[in-house]
Chains A and B, each alone.
Chain A
Amino acid sequence: TLVTALVRVSLGLCVSGCRSLSSLAELPEMHQMMRQTCRDYADRELGPIAGKLDKEHLFPAQQVRELGAMGVMAVEVPEALGGAGMDYLAYSLAVEEISRGCGSTGCVVSVNNSLYIGPILKFGTQKQKEQWITPFTTGEKVGCFALSEPGNGSDAGAASTLARQEGEEWVLNGTKAWITNSWDASATVIFATTDKSLKHKGISAFLVPMPHPGLSLGKKEDKLGIRATSTANLILEDCRIPLGNMLGSRGSGFKIAMQTLDSGRIGIASQALGIAQAALDCAADYAHKRTAFGAPIGKLQAVQFKLADMAVAVESARLLTWKAAMLKDAKKPFTKEAAMAKLAASEAATFCGHQSIQVLGGMGYVTDMPAERHYRDARITEIYEGTSEIQRLVIAGQLLKEYAS
């Protein structure tokens, strides 16, 4: 009857908690606990060392191991494979809190979870999952994702790295560029063309251990921000791997990459949120303490307007991110929402980073305060895992599909 149908619908909204917008106001208890434990870890263990990690370009190996022990390096991985067995909303919260403590560490967490483990979890065989995921859940090992090349970033379909079959092996040749975690990784998901004539439908995905004969690393890039992560070229010269190292079916590489990046966007959006929030925290705290014209500068409308704009930017990006995560958890399409989240969050991060320095004035420009680091860390979030321009194309594409008659 109509009544039972209505009751079922409203119960469904309550019971599925996560699925409804009303729960965005207050997260489920488990998620709140999880967020708190990550926040405590970030405040106590990452905050105090983030400046040093950035200055000295140090990979936070110890912290990554500790995060692994907490389950943060493999949030979505089922417990049977060594992960935390939680959902993508939990993962988003974890990355945000970790990034709030240290933007670089948040990036390492995000790349390992979304870009390395993500595709193997979705497209790998049981044997591949055990071999390539389980050792990467503990924080002892991290993975990386090699799609971009010197000749193509946004133009991912033009992969010029080649893979040819020789007997029981694949032989890979080519160069990948801008690979995050490269110098610290123990394996990579890498994309190469197996059938050039099929264009982007001729790209396949492969799993390569690191180090490995035939695979060498270029010099570490000297970056503006997220300096505790290593970014370098991967150079393949007759790199041989067993046939069983192909991930998914032949020719499905582009599809795997695109679907992986869809989820990865939620991770990067979360990283951007953490950086944005850290920038806002820094500015708001300073506004209480710094006095000028006889009062704390937080009393000045100019400063108040900046803080308000920053808060709105972060909170709206956060809700977009949570919605994208919830849609993914509900196994509903989330491509458009993930792109919107990544776009909004990364632009919020650069906005907050910029305004935070402005609120701090001269103090914002020096390394004594973290504002300049947030500004530098934020910048990459508008570029990697799909530039803001690509995000706009993705959103427009989805939108136009919805309106097509």
Chain B
Amino acid sequence: MSRVLVGVKRVIDYAVKIRVKPDQSGVVTDGVKHSMNPFCEIAVEEAVKLKEKKFIKEVVAVSCGPSQVTETIRTALAMGCDRGIHVEVSGKDYEAMGPLQISKIFAALAKKEEASLVILGKQAIDDDCNQTGQMTAALLDWPQGTFASEVTIDGETVKVVREIDGGLETIKISMPAVLTADLRLNTPRYATLPNIMKAKKKKIANMKPADLGVDMVSRVEVLRVDEPPTRLAGVKVETVDDLVAKLKANGTI
């Protein structure tokens, strides 16, 4: 029986109206409501379901960041994960943290914890990178089942139905493997009150990236963050010819 690592990222809540900082270095995060990335919720739900079906024995929730991410880990514990790992990253390292650094951390943890599966959300709703799962698999030289909308474990292999542009693709990959959760994989459960109580007693281990031999140096520098351009009013036209003429005039065609 095996162990699963689940990544949970603390992001600005999906319902919050995002504002760019006046110095254009990023978005305002102070005092703004944060919660677990919705795709990470789906990943946690899948891992907990696999444990309930007895395919896996232990689910470990992992998050990287400053002390506030322990709230996100606790939510994962309240949903049914067994224990948590908080990889402490703060200050400039945290601001510059991206998929490359995270995937190095997850690769190191996957080996350390002897995980059979690493389940991540397909992307985070703040940076929309959609890279961490893929990079983690590459670093580990493990097979990957990304954009999963259905996961079935069969012995030492996993059947993954993937959502792709053309429709659905079914692949079979051997374990250990990395999976990334897409929207329709499942409907995450609400944390029940008894599980919230139990979550208090579950352990969250602390470590630093250096403990895992990971250097957090980023090769990406954010130059500027801008608001999207304000939407201009549309123009109504009478005929198709008018439409074509207008599109040619403004250089669209």
Residues of A within 8 A of B197 (CB): 30, 84-86
- Interface residues of A, count at CB 8 A: 20
Q: A70 and B74: CB pair below 8 A? A: no
Cβ of B193 under 8 Å from chain A: yes
Q: Mark B60-84, 1 if CB is under 8 A from A, else 0.
A: 0000000000010011001000000
CA distance A241 to B190 in the complex (A): 40
Q: Mark B173-205, 1 if CB is under 8 A from A, else 0.
A: 000000000000000001111101101100000
Q: A37 and B194: CB pair below 8 A? A: no
Q: Which of A29, A40, A66, A70 contacts B193 (CB 8 A)?
A: A70
A-contacting residues, B211-229, CB 8 Å: none
Q: A79 and B196: CB pair below 8 A? A: no
Known interface pairs A30-B197, A86-B197; A71-B75 also in contact (CB < 8 Å): no
Q: How far is the CB of B228 from chain A (nearest CB, A)?
A: 20
Considering the complex, give the chain A residue whose CB is closest to the CB of B195: A71
Residues of A within 8 A of B35 (CB): 36
Q: Which of A29, A41, A84, A85 contacts B190 (CB 8 A)?
A: A41
CA distance A168 to B244 in the complex (A): 92
Query: By DSSP majority rule, is chain A's interface helix, strand, loop, or mixed?
Result: helix
Considering the complex, give the chain A residue whose CB is closest to the CB of B75: A33
Q: B192 and A69: CB pair below 8 A? A: yes
Cβ of A278 under 8 Å from chain B: no
Select the residue from A33, A41, A70, A75 with max chain B CB neighbours within 10 A: A33
Q: B191 and A33: CB pair below 8 A? A: yes
Q: How far is the CB of B52 from chain A (nearest CB, A)?
A: 14
Cβ of A349 under 8 Å from chain B: no
Considering the complex, give the chain A residue whose CB is closest to the CB of B79: A37
CA distance A84 to B192 in the complex (A): 8
Cβ of A217 under 8 Å from chain B: no
Q: How far is the CB of A137 from chain B (nearest CB, A)?
A: 10
Q: B193 and A34: CB pair below 8 A? A: yes
Select the residue from A37, A71, A79 with max chain B CB neighbours within 10 A: A37
CA distance A75 to B196 in the complex (A): 12
Q: Which of A36, A41, A71 contacts B194 (CB 8 A)?
A: A71
Known interface pairs A29-B71, A30-B200; A79-B194 also in contact (CB < 8 Å): yes
Q: Which of B71, B74, B75, B194 contacts A85 (CB 8 A)?
A: B194
CA distance A84 to B196 in the complex (A): 9
CA distance A90 to B193 in the complex (A): 9
CA distance A40 to B36 in the complex (A): 12
Considering the complex, give the chain A residue whose CB is closest to the CB of B188: A40
A-contacting residues, B70-127, CB 8 Å: 71, 74-75, 78
CA distance A204 to B155 in the complex (A): 62
CA distance A29 to B71 in the complex (A): 8
Cβ of A72 under 8 Å from chain B: yes
Q: Mark B22-45, 1 if CB is under 8 A from A, else 0.
A: 000000000000010000000000
Q: A70 and B75: CB pair below 8 A? A: no
Q: Which of A33, A41, A72, A90 contacts B78 (CB 8 A)?
A: A33
CA distance A90 to B194 in the complex (A): 12
Q: A84 and B193: CB pair below 8 A? A: yes
A-contacting residues, B144-192, CB 8 Å: 190-192
CA distance A85 to B201 in the complex (A): 14
Q: A70 and B71: CB pair below 8 A? A: no
CA distance A373 to B200 in the complex (A): 38
Chain A interfacial positions (CB closer than 8 Å to B)? 29-30, 33-34, 36-37, 40-41, 66, 69-72, 75, 79, 84-86, 90, 94
Chain B interfacial positions (CB closer than 8 Å to A)? 35, 71, 74-75, 78, 190-194, 196-197, 199-200
